[in-house]
Every structure is written in C-alpha cells, then in structure tokens.
Amino acid sequence: MNPILLNFTEIDQMQELLHDYPPAEEAMEVLKKHNGRLDTTFEQLWTETNGISALEAEKSIWQVTLKVMRDELCSHEGFRAILNEYLKNPGNAGLLTALVVTLSQITTLPINPAIATIILLYILKVGIGIFCEYTEPTSPASES
C-alpha cells in the first residue's frame, strides 16, 4: 500500500493555521523532515513519546492506531460535528486546533496532541467517509 503524503503546499497551509499551537508545530516540523509521509512521521513521534521503537510486526503501529481511531471516531458525533464545521471553513485555525485537542482527548489511546495532529491530517487528506469505511484487504490465506 502506498503511503499517504501531504505535499509541501499542504504542509505549509496547515502549519500556517496551526502556528500558535506548539504541539502541532512540532508535528509539522517532523512531517517536513519525512517529506510529507504521515506514517513515518507518526512512527517517529510515537517512538519519541513512548521512548521505545515500534516493534517489527505484520502490522505497523500506524496501521493499528488508525484501526482503533476508526473504531472510536467514526461514531463520535461531537468529533464529526467539529470536523464538518471545519470542512465548511477550512481556514479556521480555531476549529482545526479544536479538532486536534478533541481527537487527543476522546480516544482511549494515550496519544499526545502532536500525534493527534498527524492522525487528523490523515483524516483530512483521505476524507472522513473513506477513513470510516476503509477496511484492510483480506490476505489470500484468510479467504479460504
């Protein structure tokens, strides 16, 4: 599966909106270092936050986190309401910051606002509908 990327114009736009929110600024700097790759940015922030590297496994910590977030966020009306408000007015820095804070507070996962920023950018990039409906392809072995 190809990684989801933000181009430098998208990064600059988000950085401009979130410039008054230090955790998001940290996330944006790491995102630039990873050339817009959300998955590797997440992995670095997760490792820095938790003090340990993600384990080598069939699924990455990024994939597992997105699945848990999908389970928690897609039915959360409060988050979706703020997201829909932001999508009507994508230049509203206050709503964007509120989304980051809300995302980091409503999940059962121990994520900080910098990590929440990266997850939110992923949701904004692919769209909430695709994010909520996405299922991982089944492997040929599991189809039998």
Q: Which pLDDT tens digit goes with each residue over 41-98? A: 999 999 898 877 656 656 788 988 999 999 999 989 999 999 999 999 999 999 999 9
119 within 8 A of 42, measured Cβ to Cβ: yes
Nearest to 136 by CA among 65, 67, 61: 67
Number of domains in the chain: 1
**pTM of the predicted model as reported, rounded to 2 decimal places:** 0.85
How far apart, in whole angstroms, are the C-alpha atoms of residue 88 and residue 1?
A: 30
Cα torsion for 37, 34, 100, 123, to the nearest 10°?
Answer: 0
Q: Is 123 part of a structural domain of the chain?
A: yes
Q: Is 2 part of a structural domain of the chain?
A: no
Q: Is 142 part of a structural domain of the chain?
A: no
Q: Is 67 part of a structural domain of the chain?
A: yes
How far apart, in whole angstroms, are the C-alpha atoms of residue 101 and residue 107?
A: 11
Of 122 and 138, the structure prediction assigns the larger pLDDT to: 122
Q: Is 144 part of a structural domain of the chain?
A: no
Owning domain of residue 31 = 8-133
